[in-house]
Amino acid sequence: MPVNLSGRVAIVTGAGGGLGREHALLLARLGARVVVNDLGSTVSGSGASSSAAQQVADEIVAAGGEAIANGASVTDFGQVQQMVADTLARWSKVDILVNNAGILRDKTFAKMDLADFRLVLDVHLMGAVHCTKAVWEPMRARNYGRIVMTTSSSGLYGNFGQSNYGAAKMALVGLMQTLALEGARHDIRVNCIAPTAATRMLEGVLPPDTLKALDPAAVSPAVAALAAEDAPNRTILCAGGGSFEAAHVTLTRGIHLGRGDAVSHLVGNRLAEITDRTGEIVPANGFKQGEVELAKAKTGLTMGSGAGRNA
């Protein structure tokens, strides 16, 4: 059975085109009432026009769904708060937030102006923070919420010329990790989507046949799954071209080396053991790393493997 979002209210940012448009259209087809948010700027973030968002909202309405357009800039918390207030006034709730809005200012780090670094962080990271903050209390009050952050392989694994974009996208993973923990008791589930799709951000970068294979619509089912009532929590779901994977931030079993001047040398010499992924874990929270390290330290002391002996 397809995901059923009947009666749900969703806000999708950056929904005037590309991935956001496909997310909005699919959520609407699955029954959600959708706020189509888009500033209408260029890929680099300049300019503004409400026409793109309105076209998508009109398309949803023409197909028998319910949608409204919104031109708030996600970088302006006041505008975002007003968008949420208008949504609550119209539909009384916000069940789903898809943080999709983003821009590119690609250059190598050596050539990048710090203003371009800050702007990309402001749109991707702070834009998601603004939107999430604005819906957080309404979701807590109703003990229900589904929030999707849009991360990227550029953040998870790095990409040449995208230090600003990669930093912002990985920061969203960290935001997701903590908010998923804080929202759990109110049934607010927070996840990430890492899409691979042919959007205007990739025009001129990839050949036409590759662009065709990476239809943005192929990513949206993953977003719908993360917006569903039975959505997971703290999942980094990767999607592209009809394929789906999961990414994890893991912790290897590592080794205990104790203390002492010789330890820095030992760390370098034994990196293969330290980075061996056999038996690695996905920590339940940030304290788990410390727990693992303390347990190994206690074992090491019990066995008498102090710094001098490790040396």
What H or E segment, with its residue span, contains residue 10?
strand 9-12
How far is the C-alpha of 19 from the C-alpha of 119, rounded, in Å? Answer: 21
Taking CA atoms, 13 is separated from 23, 37, 99, 127, 208, in Å, by: 10, 5, 6, 9, 27
Q: Which of helix, strand or coil describes residue 239?
A: strand
Active site amino acids: 165
What are the tokens at 140? 């807590």
User: Can you read off the two tokens belonging to residue 9?
Assistant: 């209210």
Which residue in 106, 151, 147 sits closest to 124, CA to CA? 151
User: Any idea which residue has 């749900």 for tokens?
Assistant: 8
Q: Where are the beta strands (DSSP E) in 107-165?
A: 145-150
* Cβ-defined contacts of 40-48 (< 8 Å, 24+): 40/16, 40/71, 41/103, 42/103, 43/103, 43/104, 43/200, 43/201, 44/103, 44/104, 44/105, 45/103, 45/105, 45/119, 45/123, 48/73
- The Cα–Cα gap between 21 and 257 comes to 52
CA distance 171 to 36: 25
Let me know: does 220 contact 34? Beta carbons within 8 Å.
no
> How are beta strands 236-240 and 243-247 bridged, if at all?
antiparallel
Q: Are 69 and 56 in contact (CB under 8 A)?
A: yes
